[in-house]
Amino acid sequence: MKTFTIAALAAALLGGVAHADTIKVGVVGPFSGPFALQGKNFKAGIDAYMALNGNTVGDDTIEIIYRDIPTADPAQSKALSQELVVKEGVQYLAGFYFTPDAMAATPLLEQANVPMVVMNAATSAIVTKSPYVVRTSFTTWQTSTPIAKVAFDGGTKKVISVVSDYGPGVDAEAAFKAGFEKAGGAVVEAIRMPLQTNDFSPIMQRIKDSGAEGVFAFLPSGPTTLGFVKAFNENGLKDAGVKFFAPGDLTQESDLPALGESALGLQTTFHYAVSHGSAENKKFVEAAVKAIGNPAELSFPSVGAYDGMHVIYKMIEATGGEQDAAKAVEAVKGLSWESPRGPVTIDPESRHITQNIYLREVAKAEDGTYYNKEIQTFEKQGDPGLAAAK
């Protein structure tokens, strides 16, 4: 018995080598507070993957440990990640809804010998912060670039861009501008709105006065989006024929019941729509809805989490359960599989996901609910943001 205890202790001290039977995955995300819905989606995606694929890889059992970080808080994110690594002994870090949270935890990875799988945070630069970062979500550049082509091809030549004044908003503005000017259009004016804007009427007046034929918008999903879209309709811009372009954050599924009629016909580009028509997605949505409870709450972070789990399972398979971050990351470089969102690949160079981006239109289903209807596919889109930053 005594020798066994010593052996177990030794094994634990060595970081659970070879026959570790439980592999822990630490997931950091917003599970309470104003963004709890997005955290809930993380959890639904993870639960769905484990329900469909079992909670074991080989002989090892996977255990998920959640840590809550209600709003973007880099210091807290770093502390929680460190605690997960040191105290809980996790072999993988995953989750991360906000860019600053993901960034703050990257310096830990190399020393801790832990890979990080980013399930949402959408700023291009995160993957450059450590060679152990893999991302299964999207970047704002990735989703905002195709809409510029859609706008230009649709006959709109002069566009005003209106974004919320924070990191992703500025990213979206730059991505759209780059894409649209390359196509031959002109961005006549670029407005950055404060995040705390409740009344968008003055912004609508600016749009009207600019004489642009279309508006490109980016706002964080939630209450502000609702106000913006309503103001767009009520101030007569829709009736005046001003076109509306945006990445899919604005029409995420969980906001659609509230946006309702006023969002009808809005075109956005994004990597995932819950309505995506494939067998993979049907299976995923069924399992994820079971996990989340209310089908109306299912939205894009769930698919990032689902694919993130796929990557982690593959990493565990490749390392045989041993803690070897370099080997694990190497194993998933170039990995391709059929995700609920369509065919995807982990780009070996950037470790970011290459995927289809879809043009969707908000449509009304027969049962009176609203959904994003995919109408065009841009295949195998990488992340143009990294190239632009160089």
Partner 1 sequence: MQTVFSIGVDALAYGMVLFVISIGLSVTMGLMRVVNLAHGAFAMIGGYIASYAARDLGLGYAVAVMLAVVGTILIAIPVERLLYRRIYGQPELTQVLMTIGITFCIIGIANYVFGPTLKTIPTPEALREPVSLGFRTVSAHRLFVIGCGLAVALGLWYFIERTAFGVKLRASVDNAAMAAALGVKTQVVYAVSFAVAVGLAAFGGVVGAELLPIEPYYALRYMVTFLVVVSVGGAGSIPGALAACLLLGGIDTTGRYLMPEFGEFFFYLAVIAIVWLFPRGLAGRAK
Q: Which helix (H) or strand (E) holds 307?
A: helix 301-319
Between 86 and 365, whose beta carbon lies closer to partner 1?
365
Q: How far is the CB of 65 from partner 1 (least distance, A)?
A: 23
Q: Which of 10, 33, 153, 380 binds partner 1 (CB under 8 A)?
A: 33
- Residue 206 beta carbon to partner 1: minimum distance, rounded to whole angstroms: 6
Q: Per CB under 8 A, which region of 28-36, 149-157, 277-285, 320-328 contacts partner 1?
A: 28-36
Write down the least CB distance from residue 47 to partner 1, Å: 18
Q: How far is the CB of 31 from partner 1 (least distance, A)?
A: 11
What residues contact 52, with CB distance under 8 A and at least 6 apart? 283, 284, 287
197 interacts with partner 1 by CB under 8 A: yes
- Asked if residues 331 and 115 have their Cβ atoms less than 8 Å apart, the reply is no
Nearest in space to 268 (alpha carbons), one of 375, 344, 166? 375
Q: Which of 54, 211, 223, 348 binds partner 1 (CB under 8 A)?
A: 223
Q: What would the x/- binding string for partner 1 be over residues 273 to 302, using CB under 8 A?
A: ---------------------x-xx-----
Residue from 257, 265, 334, 348 touching partner 1 (CB under 8 A): that is 257
Q: Which residues contact 335 (CB under 8 A, 6 or more apart)?
A: 311, 314, 345, 346
Whole-number minimum distance, CB 250 to partner 1, in Å? 13
Instruction: Please identify, among the stretches 127-135, 200-208, 304-312, 324-332, the one whose residues bind partner 1 according to the rule CB under 8 A.
Output: 200-208
Question: In degrees, to the nearest 5, what angle opens at C-alpha 120 toward C-alphas 116 and 124?
Answer: 80
Which listed residue (254, 267, 268, 372) binds partner 1 by CB under 8 A?
Answer: 254
Strand partners, 163: 192, 218
Beta strand ranges found along the chain (DSSP E): 22-29, 56-57, 60-68, 92-95, 116-118, 133-135, 158-164, 186-193, 214-218, 243-247, 267-270, 336-339, 342-346, 353-364, 370-381
* Comparison of 226 and 273: residue with beta carbon closer to partner 1: 226
201: contact with partner 1 by CB under 8 A? yes
User: Looking at beta carbons only, is 22 or 201 nearer to partner 1?
Assistant: 201
Cross-strand bridge partners of residue 72: none
Please identify which residue in the block is written with the tokens 């409870």: 293
**What is d(CA 227, CA 208) in angstroms, rounded to the nearest whole number?**
17
| 92 or 244: CB nearest partner 1 | 244
Report strand pairing: 133-135 vs 116-118. Answer: parallel
Between 39 and 68, how does the x/- string for binding to partner 1 read (CB under 8 A)?
A: -x----------------------------
Residue 258 interacting with partner 1 (CB under 8 A):
yes
Residues from 142 through 181 that contact partner 1 (CB under 8 A): 165
Size of the site for partner 1 (CB under 8 A): 39
**Using the rule CB under 8 A, is 227 a contact of partner 1?**
yes
Under the binding rule (CB under 8 A), the answer on residue 234 touching partner 1 is yes
- The upper half-sphere exposure of residue 226, i.e. CA atoms within 13 Å in the direction of its Cβ, equals 10
> Could you say whether residue 265 binds partner 1 (CB under 8 A)?
no
The number of residues in the chain equals 390
Of residues 323, 350, 312, 318, the one with CA closest to residue 111: 323
Query: What is the chain's Cα-based Rg?
Result: 22
- Within 83-102, which residues bind partner 1 (CB under 8 A)? none
Count the Cβ atoms, other than its own, within 10 Å of residue 119. Answer: 31
Q: Give yes or no for residue 369 binding partner 1 (CB under 8 A).
A: no
Please tell me the distance from the alpha carbon of residue 379 to that of residue 149, in angstroms, as a whole number.
14
CB of 257 to partner 1, least distance (A): 7
Among 226, 273, 309, 357, binds partner 1 (CB under 8 A): 226
Is there a contact between 265 and 361 (Cβ–Cβ < 8 Å)? yes
- Summarize as ranges the residues that interact with partner 1 (CB under 8 A): 33-34, 36-37, 40, 165, 191-199, 201-203, 205-206, 209, 222-223, 226-227, 230, 233-236, 239, 254-255, 257-258, 260, 294, 296-297
